[in-house]
Amino acid sequence: MSLSAVVLLCMFGTVTSEACAVPSAQQWLVTGLQTQLENGVKQQSSPSPSVVMALNLAGGRDSTATKRLIQDIKGIKDMTSGKVALYVLSLQSFCVDPKDVPTAGGRVNVVSALEEKTNEEIKHYYDTGTPKTTNYQLALDILALCVEKSPDAKNAAATLIKIIKGCQSKGCFDVDTAAMVALALSCVHDGMSKGSKMEGAITETLRVITAQILDSQQESGIIGNIYSTGLAMQALSVTTEFYPAGAWKCTKTIDEVLRKMYEGAFTNPEAGSQILPSLVGKTYLDVATLNCFSDPNITVHYTVINQLIGPYFNYSITVKVPKGSVLLAALEAAQHVNPTIFSFQTESTSWGPMVISIHGVNGSSDDKTYWQFLSGEKPLDQGVGSYKPTDNEHIVAKFSTY
């Protein structure tokens, strides 16, 4: 067995728990992905609404991203319906009312614009047999309208059900589209009275759609391919009543997604934005129920300094880790974001893990050198496996002598 295979086996092991959640030992991978997406958004003049929404679902909110997102609304007339739907969901995740968005040119009702574009999709279907854009975008429109409790969501859902019935045998729904359909119809279903004719039609359609998603489940746990798995996870997590218990091997899916994350599969922001919500236990249906004033993570500023032996260096990074995490999790998150600079090694001791090397620079008993950890300028009185940093704390790892 190769060394890399041994490392992966040691990191992830075999998933035996029935709980469908990221194991605490691999949580740093999720926070690393979140940090990666946040850094990307900060560099974009026009942030992606899907990336912004995913970050908000994960608890990280950037007010400057909100302002830039609102600036882009001036081009709403030229957007596809699906793009407008993403803006509705993203604004809602920021706790900005999409029906009344303050812009430089006046207040804009983005939901009304979405209703108009969705009606265009439906009219095009009845005129030509296909939506104006795609089935995926129509499903996304319905999801956003449903989250906003628009009465148009129900009528659009009825059209989507007709489309599904008309193309079941043609295989015209890939995993991504089927997952978005499941999310949209699940939302509409939850708001309907039991026993109605429409409720029965949605129930039957959801059984068909979830069966199709599950048919794409591979032995590894991946659903479709690695990039369709994120939406499929969201869909299956909210439709459990429509497929047999145990049909989705959720823990296998989580395990394989984490393996792929470790290998760098989600460097593309859009791909990362679809997988992040499921990894933090959220779906697009949660955007309207977020607590906009609570962040489950803390920010840690981390600096590594070597002024003892050449080549000298002084590098800094900002990462997020879940509240209550030990310092080791912040080091792992930094290493995941930039392994070239923030790689490190530890050694087990009776006091817990001890960092013996950072950026390829090793401590030495012969030279009496070691890596000292400080909070600002104050040395820590606990090891990296015990010390729990606070929000916005500045941790310094300094190559020192004793």
Are 53 and 361 a contacting pair, CB within 8 Å?
no
Binding site annotation covers 134?
yes
Binding site annotation covers 227?
no
Residue whose tokens read 């997406």: 37
Binding site annotation covers 307?
no
Binding site annotation covers 168?
no
For CA atoms 233, 237, 238, 239, give the dihedral sign.
positive
Q: Sheet containing 393-401: which strands, arranged edge to edge?
A: 313-322, 297-306, 393-401, 369-375, 378-379
Are 81 and 132 a contacting pair, CB within 8 Å?
yes
The amino acid at residue 138 is L
Q: Is 233 exposed, middle or buried (0-12, 13-18, 19+ CB in 10 A)?
A: buried
Are 118 and 156 a contacting pair, CB within 8 Å?
yes
* Alpha helices (runs of H) in 263-378, residue ranges in sequence order: 269-279, 327-337, 339-342
Binding site annotation covers 137?
yes
What DSSP letter does each residue of 254-294 carry, written as one string?
Answer: HHHHHHHHHTTTT-SHHHHHHHHHHHTT--GGGGGG--TT-
The CB density around residue 222, as the number of other CB atoms within 10 Å, is 21
Binding site annotation covers 340?
no
Binding site annotation covers 402?
yes
Binding site annotation covers 258?
no
Tokens of 102: 């303050």
- CA–CA distance, 206 with 201 (Å, rounded to integer): 9
Tokens of 359: 């950026």
Binding residues for cyanocob(III)alamin: 133-137, 176, 225, 274, 380, 402
Residues annotated within the binding site are 133-137, 176, 225, 274, 380, 402
